[in-house]
Amino acid sequence: MSIRHGASRPAIERSSYSPPGWQVEQVEMNLVLARESTRVTTRLTVRRNPSDSGASAPLELNGSGLETESISVDGRRLSTEDYRIEGETLHLELPEDRATVETVVTIHPAENTALEGLYAAGDMLLTQCEAEGFRKITWYPDRPDVMARFRVRLEADRSEFPILLSNGNCVESGELADDRHYAVWDDPFAKPSYLFAVVAGDLAVLEDTHTTASGREVTLKVWSDPADLDRLQWAMESLKQAMRWDEQRFGLEYDLDIYHIVATHDFNMGAMENKGLNIFNSRYVLADPETATDADFEAIEAVIGHEYFHNWTGNRVTCRDWFQLTLKEGLTVFRDQEFTSDLRSRGVKRIQDAANLKARQFLEDAGPMAHPVRPERYIEINNFYTSTVYEKGAEVVRMYQTLLGREGFRKGLDLYFRRHDGQAVTCDDFLAAMADANDTNLDLFERWYRQTGTPTLRASIRREGEETVLALSQNLTEHPDNRGIGALMMPIKVGFLDADNRSLPVTLSGEDEPGPETRLLVLDQPQAEFRFRDLPEEAVPSLLRDFSAPVKLIFDWSAEELARLAGFDPDPVNRHQAMRRLSERVLDQAIADAQLPNNLDLLEQAWTAVFDDDSIDPALAAELLTLPTENELAQERDPVDVDGIHRARSELRSHLAGKLETRLLDRIDELAPQGPWSGDGRAVAERSLHNHCLEMLALAGRDSGAGRAREQFESADNMTDRMAALRALVLGGHDATAALESFEARYRDNALVMDKWFAVQAMKPHGSTVEKIAELRNHPAFRMTNPNKVRAVIGVFAVHNPVAFHRADGAGYRLVGEALHELDELNPQVAARLAGAFNRWRAYGEKRSAMMKAELEELAAKPGLSPDVEEIVTAALGVE
């Protein structure tokens, strides 16, 4: 059982930061590893921080769920009167300015279902310490502004745990009596405790090397269960690409002689950047064409990149406190986005990132847990690994680059590392480095870190004589924390198309030379006007190109103008946006009238134009031909008409598929695989459009689509095509029994592929999926203790199946509510994420709202509820 806190904890405030009273110079640990009981001896060399007040602060050590055997100071064993324990903190008065503190504790990895601290995953033992898991392993000042050098001795049974890994370099290893062995690892870089890692198990390895730009050779090792060894190649390729890219784009080299990646099937999140010893959810490591889709390959490359890039942005320069989390996460997401953009299609990547931000982060902003990219308070820090901190944080970093230019941004980053290497710093330090390196004032920019919610940008255009006047105004959302913040500094990229849909130079009044076709405007006032010359009256504005600021843009385009932008805007993001707005208008009307509008000419023409464009990148075409999801359509509505949205969207899809059936079939045949699978960019893009067309036809209920899907399911030589066919059959409501059975028989032993099998069934938009979920939960491959399974079955159901989750009788709510009661006792972190499914309970009409609220209240009343879930549920219910 995990350790319960029971009673509510108070929130921690950003403003209450104070520096640690003591620093740790050196950590020496000895872990005697075993599944049931592991004994941890830790010796800390601590030194008092000179404090301004001259006061002598006690040493504060954090511990959680530790069976403490002894605590000694400078060799003298303490009695319980010698220290005071309050909650998770042990206070120790030390007379001198230096001391050696030794603790001995026992922990129980096999019982650790929370997957935080040291836990058992299959036959392995491994750690997850971010954010505050190290305190579940030993007593320690578990805060990121305490950076220390670690030397770690691991000892274990040799046949059960032949591989023993920790951070840094292996400096010693050897045999012991009774078929036991040990290894000593030394990490030469001082680090915060959240980057500590240990792995022990019977692991197979794929090995390679990377020679850095300065000529050092680094050993690369990717580890997994021996059964998965032949699916590690892509992860290795991705790691090598990431290392080269960071050298070339940012001049950053790896700093140790060895780099490990370890894959595990039991992991709370995506992956973890532990110094020199990354630990990964196996879904972001294992791949081959037979078992992984193109999307999986791309995600692996991105996450491997992300964790690798943390070595500089997170590890070498880390966060002072957890309020600064976006300092490392926003920056590192920005870096991984750029990595993907440089390796693949920049335009398609930017479309996806912008769409994803609107779908997920804007939703968070509109909900009870809305917070700034740098939160002001939290109860459980694990609840703040959010799309706001990560993805909106990345947009904030991107805005520096947009404002300063790529070169200016690079200068800022170089100065940041020069100033802060080896330190634990703040978002303000990052801003200062950007400003100082570019000799500019960015004080106003700091407001992005403080504001809550999605800002609105309103635009209007008028003619004054020969001039075109663009009026812009901005607003923050109503939120108590937004009072007094003032205007944000917004980079806004704009362009114009002429009557023939060609790009025009954007020239400000008073300028002599024609301006660029995409012009950067900076709005740093509540409102401002920009005057342009030489623009014809009928010019169509393309605003917020490249999604240059994370705001909600309001501008009154006509449907004709949107159709022109959808067809011809050279900016891929705005082309996609225009297509979205066009179909949203149709869908809004269809939802309101409970039937499709009569005239869909403009939308049909825009879709046809995409099909008939011979030169378009097929991956871009697939993005343009995607209707907004039901969740996206629900986002702006209150009350949400779940069934009306589903019906309108299905009808529009059927209508378009009917109108365009020949084109869809042509495209499916043209793009059908020729020869064996290939992973190159063109092949991936073609598969994406091919499968998109197939899904469109099959989900529209067309027999032509179902027929093609059946053939493809049988003949596919790769998971992308096989899974697309299975999705088309299941989600299209066609008879998929045989396909599901043969898929299961084939992949029964592959956990990651079974996750796909679970997820596609959990997604089927039909009320009966509620009963299906109950059945899937009894499947032998399902385990409530495995986060990937919970996400594939219950998470997908709650988040991606509005029709079934919101079933009118409340059975969907009941199912998720009951799962949460069970999950909270096993894994609070994963439970808290799932609990967010009830966040918008107020927006679903009286009957549904009452039922959703009842689930939240029942959770809130649960004895021993974790602080993780309690924080989410309390915020959702809106009580203090």
Choose the binding region for ligand TRP from 171-179, 271-279, 485-493, 628-636 (rule: CB under 6 A).
271-279
Query: Which of these segments, 123-131, 199-207, 565-573, 668-676, binds ligand TRP (CB under 6 A)?
Result: 123-131
Minimum distance from CB of 385 to Zn ion (Å)?
Answer: 8
835 near 799, Cβ under 8 Å?
A: no
234: alpha, beta or left? (left if phi > 0; alpha if psi -120 to 50): alpha
DSSP line for 44-113: EEEEEPP-TT---PPEEEE-SS-EEEEEEETTEEPPGGGEEEETTEEEE--SSSEEEEEEEEEE-GGG-T
**Which of 112, 268, 720, 827 touches ligand TRP (CB under 6 A)?**
268
Q: Residue 837: left (phi > 0), alpha (psi -120 to 50), or beta?
A: alpha
From the candidates 307, 517, 561, 855, give the one annotated as an active-site residue: 307
DSSP code of residue 735: -
Q: Give which of ligand TRP, Zn ion, none residue 130 binds (C-beta under 5 to 8 Å, depending on kind).
A: ligand TRP
Contacts of 879 (CB under 8 A, 6+ apart): none
Tokens of residue 735, six digits: 């008879």
Q: Closer to Zn ion at the Cβ: 341 or 473?
A: 341
Strand partners, 319: 425
Q: Which is nearer to ligand TRP, 719 or 832 (CB)?
A: 832
State in angstroms the smallest separation of the CB of 603 from ligand TRP.
39
Residue 786 binding target from Zn ion, ligand TRP, none, CB below 5 to 8 Å by type: none
Asked if residue 131 has a cis previous peptide bond (ω within 30° of 0), the answer is yes
Q: Determine, following the binding rule CB under 6 A, whether residue 64 of this chain makes contact with ligand TRP.
A: no
Interacting residue with ligand TRP among 246, 273, 517, 824 (CB under 6 A): 273
Residue closer to ligand TRP by CB (options 151, 191) is 191
Based on CB atoms, which residue is closest to ligand TRP, 759 or 830?
830
Q: Which of 38, 103, 113, 128 binds ligand TRP (CB under 6 A)?
A: 128
Amino acid (1-letter code) at residue 59: L
Decide: is 299 part of the binding site for ligand TRP (CB under 6 A): no
When CB distances are held under 5 to 8 angstroms depending on the partner's kind, the choice from Zn ion, ligand TRP, none that residue 135 binds is: none
User: How many residues contact ligand TRP, by CB under 6 A?
Assistant: 12
Dmax over Cα atoms in the chain, in whole Å? 93
Binding partner selected for residue 338 from ligand TRP, Zn ion, none, CB under the kind-specific 5 to 8 Å limit:
none
Q: How far is the CB of 311 from Zn ion (least distance, A)?
A: 11
Chain residue whose CB lies nearest ligand TRP: 269
List the one residue out of 47, 14, 42 whose CA is nearest residue 118.
42
Q: Is 300 in the site for ligand TRP (CB under 6 A)?
A: no
Distance (Å, whole) CA 492 – CA 407: 19
Q: Tokens representing 671?
A: 């793009």
Residue 385 interacting entry, from Zn ion, ligand TRP, none, C-beta within 5 to 8 Å by type = ligand TRP
Among 102, 246, 307, 695, binds ligand TRP (CB under 6 A): 307
Residues with Cβ within 8 Å of residue 838, at least 6 apart in sequence: 813, 816, 852, 855, 856, 873, 876
Nearer to ligand TRP, 324 or 691 (CB): 324
> Does residue 806 sit in helix, strand or coil?
coil
307: annotated active-site residue: yes
Closest by CA position to 579, among listed 621, 517, 523, 633: 621
Q: Which residues pair with 98 in a beta bridge?
A: 47
**Residues ≥6 apart with Cβ < 8 Å to 71:** 77, 78, 82, 83, 90, 92, 101, 102, 103, 139
Residue 808 parent element (H or E) = none
Q: Does 553 bind ligand TRP (CB under 6 A)?
A: no
Buried residues in 339-366 as b, exposed as e (16+ CB within 10 A): bbeebbbebbbbbbbbbebbebbbbbbb
Distances in Å between the alpha carbon of 633 and those of 62, 604, 667, 729?
Answer: 45, 20, 28, 24
Interaction residues for ligand TRP, span 315-354 (CB under 6 A)? 329
Instruction: Give the per-residue SS3 of 29-52.
Output: EEEECCCCCEEEEEEEEEEECCCC
Residue number, 387 or 583, with CB nearest to ligand TRP: 387
With CB under 6 A as the contact rule, the residue among 312, 322, 385, 797 that binds ligand TRP is 385
> If contact means CB under 5 to 8 A according to the sort of partner, which of ligand TRP, Zn ion, none does residue 365 touch?
none
| Least Å from the CB of residue 846 to ligand TRP | 38
Q: How far apart are the first and last CA of the chain?
A: 28
- Residues 297-336, mask of contacts with Zn ion (x by CB under 5 A): --------------------------------x--x----
Count of residues that interact with Zn ion, criterion CB under 5 A: 2
Of residues 267 and 743, the one with the C-beta less far from Zn ion: 267
For ligand TRP, the closer CB: 304 or 803: 304
- Segment interacting with ligand TRP, rule: CB under 6 A, options 128-136, 404-412, 753-761, 778-786: 128-136
Smaller CB separation from ligand TRP, 310 or 692: 310
Residues lying near Zn ion in the complex (CB under 5 A): 329, 332
Residues lying near ligand TRP in the complex (CB under 6 A): 128, 130-131, 268-269, 271-273, 306-307, 329, 385
Q: What positions carry a catalytic annotation?
A: 307
